[in-house]
Amino acid sequence: MPIQIQQLDHTYLPGSQLAYPALSGISLTIQDGEFLGIIGHTGSGKSTLIQHLNGLLLPTSGSVLVDGLDTREKKLRKQIRSLVGMVFQYPEYQLFEETVARDVAFGPKNMGMPEAEIETHVTDALRLVGLNPAEFAEKSPFELSGGEKRRAALAGILAMRPKYLVLDEPMAGLDPRGRHEILALIESLRCDFGTGIVMVSHSMDDVAMFADRIAVLDKGSLFMVDSPESVFSHSTELLKMGLNLPQSTQLVRALRARGVAIEQDYFRMDELSQDLIGRWKHDR
């Protein structure tokens, strides 16, 4: 079953003079196994929205159902959080245990898993993120490099075997190699295990390349949700919202301004490259 968001409103500090409506009338269905990218300007409600997906925040009105489980039901939240793993920006700052293994085991223990099962989950999760258990399990998390810390933090979420993985700017602060490795890991989770991915990102190139659909938030409302091709065809509207465009789309606009007749609004660089190479070969 999918995640169903129905007419979701969220107001911070309701009933006070500081009341702030962060989300208004959001209706969205996240399908099993899909990769949904979420984009929007700063303050558009992206982080507020994803914190509703496992009950960290509750609707002011409307509802969020995870596989039919209502996040407003307190007794269901533990089960919901076992289904929806949440990875915040700079997850390495959340490491706190004496060893990597104990840190990764924290979530499964809270779920009440048997000890033998926890050990298997920890070992599998470390291997999945590319950390050899024999080398890393007994290390202090604070001895790890920045990239290793992020992998260890991600392993702690994966050890709970979530059906959905929700990520808030997972590549923030990483160099190009680190970004590529994390994106490859996320894509492998989806392809190999059917994990549904919900990713907030400021990188239009990342969501253009990997997402099945993109949800665009603007001032707390859902502007549109559609395929990357359809979303980035609304380049004028996106720019007015203060959003960037994929590098390929920016290049197409620049080439058109210089008189190059490119009809398609490419949003992936490899597709634009093929078009330009074909033109070059034709003109030779």
pLDDT along the chain (284 residues), means of 10: 96 93 97 96 95 96 97 95 90 87 93 90 93 95 87 91 93 82 87 93 92 97 96 92 91 85 80 78 67
- Asked whether residue 205 falls in the same domain as residue 92, the answer is yes
pLDDT at 284: 64
- Asked whether residue 231 falls in the same domain as residue 126, the answer is yes
pLDDT at 282: 67
Pairing of strands 35-40, 213-218: parallel
Q: Which two tokens stand for residue 201?
A: 């990102």
- Asked whether residue 10 falls in the same domain as residue 83, the answer is yes
> What residues make up the domain containing 267?
246-284
Query: What's the pTM?
Result: 0.89
Cβ pair 36, 53 in contact under 8 A: no
pLDDT at 173: 80
Pairing of strands 35-40, 196-200: parallel
- Asked whether residue 147 falls in the same domain as residue 179, the answer is yes
Exposure string over 177-216, b if 16+ CB within 10 A, otherwise e: ebbebbbebbeebbeeeebbbbbbbbbbbbbbbbbebbbb
pLDDT at 172: 82
- Asked whether residue 239 falls in the same domain as residue 269, the answer is no
What's the start-to-end Cα distance of the chain, in Å?
54
Select from 30, 23, 26 the least CA-distant residue to 4: 30
Spacing of C-alpha 97 from chain mean position: 25
Cβ pair 26, 49 in contact under 8 A: yes
Q: Looking at the 3D structure of the chain, how many domains does it have?
A: 2
- Numbers of helices and strands, H then E, in the chain: 12, 10
Q: The domain spanning residue 114 has which CATH number?
A: 3.40.50.300
- Asked whether residue 225 falls in the same domain as residue 260, the answer is no
Q: Which two tokens stand for residue 144?
A: 């790890």
pLDDT at 158: 92
- Asked whether residue 251 falls in the same domain as residue 229, the answer is no
- Asked whether residue 8 falls in the same domain as residue 59, the answer is yes
